[in-house]
Structure 1
């Protein structure tokens, strides 16, 4: 039984073309790695998601006046601490591995080291820094891991998410076009804000306020990247090793036609009839976990990479108590979360039975007497395994 309500999402319109800059078009470097096909058309649901879980941990995040978390947009586990991005609360909070609240990074305001919005954050393990992206301030704030403000960098770009590799800052851009980003989805700049490359053009004709789409998530070789209405995830490689397609998603007959991708009007009329990648993806050496939109519903799924046959993977769909994959631990475990308010509501409505919890997820069942509707989310850390006879 799926706990989370399906949500509708507006998308920007981007046709994933070979990487290009203003003057010339370059073909993706496909020689660096083989392309893996993720066959969504064969995605399967299990009678019980527990059949695909090797280990699961539930971590209630402490709730007090200083630690309120409305939702978890991103989670990074680093050096025994959990960093939680909550865009609704415009905050970055740090919890221990036991869920105890430790501190907040930065604060709201317009003074030195203060911001009025948080769009994304990353942790730089080499320099032991936290980097926070704030569109209202058009730049990046640097803090120590303990929350001491270091400096801010003005890039004059409006990104939904960002990453840094080899001294370059990469911004994912959607409708927030300006003279620097122009009509491109991925912008690379140096520390001074000088544009080094503009990648993945999108049509100049679309308009209107459109919500977040696309993602940038780091992996060992650099980071993964995809844009709206896409069926391809690209590897952005470190040390000048190029950009190349790594995963191509086969949606079968439900794949969104190019004609619908190109036209705002066509998508608004017909888009929810089709399937395409959504906002979240995490990747370890063994697991690829992601979300995709399937005819109006947001589906979470995973693949065991080492189990692929001929570079083709068949996904297993998530069900409760695992939500969207929002992070990854150093051990390759997927991080997600449970909304306590939604959880309690589902229990009262009979959508989830206490007997089911007691039998399948006893650790979560034992938490029931302690939960209040106003509590912070429960973080879940999951290690998947391929079900038998799959």
Structure 2
């Protein structure tokens, strides 16, 4: 699997022929790298091909911090921040002990209607709510409220992700929820740059169809903001420290890519559409280190993880659905975030208990898994840390 660097004109032709829609890529340049993902998705690698070590961290289980499902997970220094999809932001220590809940759901001062995304700063946290941003310190004290309204009919934006812009203000990722009409005449974009007064400065990624979700739309690598791709696009985009948006990588899925415009079902019309599950239509959970790229994608209702070694220019495939897992290999469930050279995934306690019956005693001892044999199915989730080679 080789990474190919094409000329600008060759790359534009390649993308125009290979993308799964006909949106023109205005952000491609000659530095965009082509990453080839193997077409034979039955070639699943062993976990040891990618990771040096696997460790576990159970979250403390107490009444005030019971977690049903983790929507967003972020790690900063010695703290772990969780949006548990119940309009709560919970903070745990690196030892798994519960520390504090930040803010609460409500319509009063310092409360939020929704917890869509959050940014962790040195000494405070900003929470993206509906038409406002609430700021708290790490002790839970409310510091400020910033309100905005971007409900112009032609530039509607109800953001579900945000990030600071190097040009000042924020990047807001709007999604398509609530938007019924798409197209250039509406001048609606997936991402907007707004200044500190929340005035729109520029729009990026014209909306032409509905978009999928993402755990982390924005991540960081070196001085770049990396954008987890939107539905119907095979590019990984970056924003550099000058605010320039460009395609960083193009993912070539070969015959598994959809090469036509994604059909949008029309109201009150009976039409037959081909089975799109036979194609890779989108991917997410993109993370980058100095040596590795990580992403997940779905094909024929099976979720795969692709890990690309930049030094060896080789792609490795893993899948939690792999039926041929050996007793010396714990399942890889994917990644919600990354900390240094470790991919991190929260899993249900029950998932770990299932692995106890499959793994060999020797392997259980090797990864120190026996210490968690007494875990209960009703306990809080467990973080799995996969250390990249």
TM-score by length of 1: 0.78
Mapping of residues 150-229 of structure 1, within 5 Å: 150-156=143-149, 157-166=157-166, 167-176=168-177, 182-203=187-208, 212=213, 215-225=217-227, 226-229=229-232
Per the alignment, residue 63 of structure 2 pairs with: 65
Q: Cα distance 1:264–1:256, how it changes in 2: closer, same or farther (>3 A)?
A: farther
* Shift, 1:142, TM fit: 1.4
Cα distance 1:57–1:15, how it changes in 2: closer, same or farther (>3 A)?
A: farther
Q: Provide, for residues 161-191 of structure 1, a one-character-per-residue CA deviation record: whole Å limited to 9, x for no partner.
A: 2211222311222223679x95211111112
Q: Does 1:292 align with 2:297?
A: yes
Alpha-carbon contact 2:125-2:136 (below 8 Å) kept? yes
2:45–2:317 Cα contact (<8 Å) kept = no
The one-character-per-residue Cα deviations of 1:209-232 (angstroms, maximum 9, x if unpaired) are x76258322222231122112111
SS in 1 for 2:369: helix
Equivalenced residues, count: 341
Q: 1:384 aligns with which of 363, 367, 388?
A: 388
Residues 47 and 231 of structure 1: is their aligned pair in 2 closer, same or farther, counting only changes over 3 Å? closer
1:341 to 331, 347, 350: 350
Contact between 2:70 and 2:346, CA under 8 Å: does it hold in 1?
Answer: yes
Determine helix, strand or coil for the equivalent of 2:373.
helix
Give the Cα–Cα distance (whole angstroms) in 1 for the partners of residues 23 and 240 of structure 2: 18
Structure-2 residue corresponding to 1:41: 39
Is 1:251 aligned with 2:244? no
Q: Partner of 1:272 in structure 2?
A: 277
Tell me whether 1:90 sits opposite 2:87 in the alignment: yes
Q: CA shift at 1:124, angstroms?
A: 2.6
Q: In the alignment, is residue 374 of structure 1 matched against residue 378 of structure 2?
A: yes
Compare CA radii of gyration and give the structure with the larger one. Answer: 2
User: Alignment RMSD, CA only?
Assistant: 2.8
Instruction: Please say if 1:101 is aligned against 2:132.
Output: no
- Post-superposition shift, 1:262? 4.4
Any gaps of 5 or more consecutive residues in structure 2?
1-19, 150-156, 321-329
Equivalent of residue 76 in structure 1, options 74, 77, 90: 74
What TM-score do you get using the length of structure 2 for normalisation? 0.78
Alignment pair present for 1:307 and 2:300: no
**Contact 2:223–2:240, Cα closer than 8 Å, also in 1:** yes
Q: How far apart in 2 are the matches of 1:223 and 1:290?
A: 16
C-alpha contact 1:17 1:201 (8 A) present in aligned 2: no
Q: Which has the higher contact order (CA 8 A, sep 6+)?
A: 1
Contact 1:94 1:104 in 2 (8 A): yes
In 2 relative to 1, CA 68–230 (structure 1 residues): closer, same or farther, beyond 3 Å? same
